[in-house]
């Protein structure tokens, strides 16, 4: 059976909220909210979801978050299907390492498709590097949220985000990142 060869730009090695695989990045530059800064997580146990699209099948070996100037408590990074089913998550991770990338070892294989990257913190002392475009703008690119979602639930009830907060986090195919 004939199948069309893969076309278009291949997926990057590192998918995160500040590269264009995640459409949120266009909002941040488009509305002039591209200044990164450290800020506390807005609400304890609030999970934020950011859409991304894959054109190829890849295995990710690191889930990473960009910590801010204070670390506290625990977080959980996950990947969800478009309909809100949790596919992978790191489970509870103690936040550690001020103002640096914090990688968590994972082994997550994803097929081509639409996904959400999810991040939740269980407290509001923890900080991330983040940008803060208007929540309404984020909602127009498919950003979602869910309250009381620590640790990340098996099934997420997704609603349009009302949170003006884009943490820098992502998933990498390379262990050295």
Partner 1 sequence: MSYGAPSLERVPIMINVSLLQMMMEARTFFGGGATPSDRTWPVANLALYLPLLIPKKINVANMFWQNGATISGNVCMGLYNEAGTRLQQTTIVAHAGASAIQAPSITAFDLPRGRYWLGIAFSSATATIRGFGTSAVGADANKWCAIGEEALGSTQIPTTMTPVASARNVFLPFIGITRN
**Least spacing, CB of residue 154 vs partner 1, in Å:** 30
**Least spacing, CB of residue 135 vs partner 1, in Å:** 18
**Least spacing, CB of residue 156 vs partner 1, in Å:** 25
When asked if residue 59 is in the footprint of partner 1 (CB under 8 A), the reply is no
When asked if residue 32 is in the footprint of partner 1 (CB under 8 A), the reply is no
Measured in whole angstroms, how far is the alpha carbon of residue 30 from the centre of its chain? 19
Q: Pick from 91, 99, 123: which is nearest to 36 by CA? A: 99
Q: How many CA atoms lie within 13 Å of 126's alpha carbon, on the beta-carbon side? A: 26
The residues in 80-109 that bind partner 1, with binding defined as CB under 8 A, are 99-101
> ω into residue 151 within 30 of 0, thus cis?
yes
Q: In the complex with partner 1, which residue's Cβ is closer, 64 or 146?
A: 64
Q: Are 131 and 61 in contact (CB under 8 A)?
A: no
- Report how many residues bind partner 1 under the rule CB under 8 A: 35
**Least spacing, CB of residue 153 vs partner 1, in Å:** 28
Q: In the complex with partner 1, which residue's Cβ is closer, 31 or 36?
A: 36
Q: In the complex with partner 1, which residue's Cβ is closer, 75 or 150?
A: 75
Helix then strand then coil, % of the chain, to nearest 5: 5, 45, 50
Q: How many CA atoms lie within 13 Å of 110's alpha carbon, on the beta-carbon side? A: 30
d(CA 17, CA 175): 19
When asked if residue 24 is in the footprint of partner 1 (CB under 8 A), the reply is no
Interaction site with partner 1 (CB under 8 A): 4-14, 16, 18-20, 25, 28-29, 34-36, 66-68, 99-101, 129, 131, 168, 170, 172, 174, 176-177
């Amino acid at each position: 059976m004939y199948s069309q060869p893969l076309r278009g730009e291949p997926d990057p090695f590192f998918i995160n909220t500040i590269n264009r695989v995640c459409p949120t990045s266009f909002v941040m530059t488009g509305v002039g909210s591209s200044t990164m800064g450290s800020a506390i997580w807005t609400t304890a146990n609030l999970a934020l979801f950011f859409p991304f699209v894959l054109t190829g099948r890849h295995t990710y070996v690191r889930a990473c978050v960009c910590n801010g100037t204070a670390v506290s408590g625990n977080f959980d990074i996950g990947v969800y299907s478009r309909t809100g089913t949790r596919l992978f998550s790191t489970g509870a991770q103690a936040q550690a390492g001020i103002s640096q990338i914090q990688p968590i070892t994972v082994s997550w294989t994803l097929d081509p498709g639409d996904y959400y990257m999810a991040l939740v913190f269980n407290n509001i002392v923890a900080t991330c590097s983040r940008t803060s475009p208007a929540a309404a703008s984020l909602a127009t690119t498919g950003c979602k949220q869910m309250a009381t979602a620590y640790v990340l639930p098996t099934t997420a009830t997704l609603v349009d985000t009302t949170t003006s907060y884009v943490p820098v986090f992502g998933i990498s195919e390379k262990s050295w990142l």
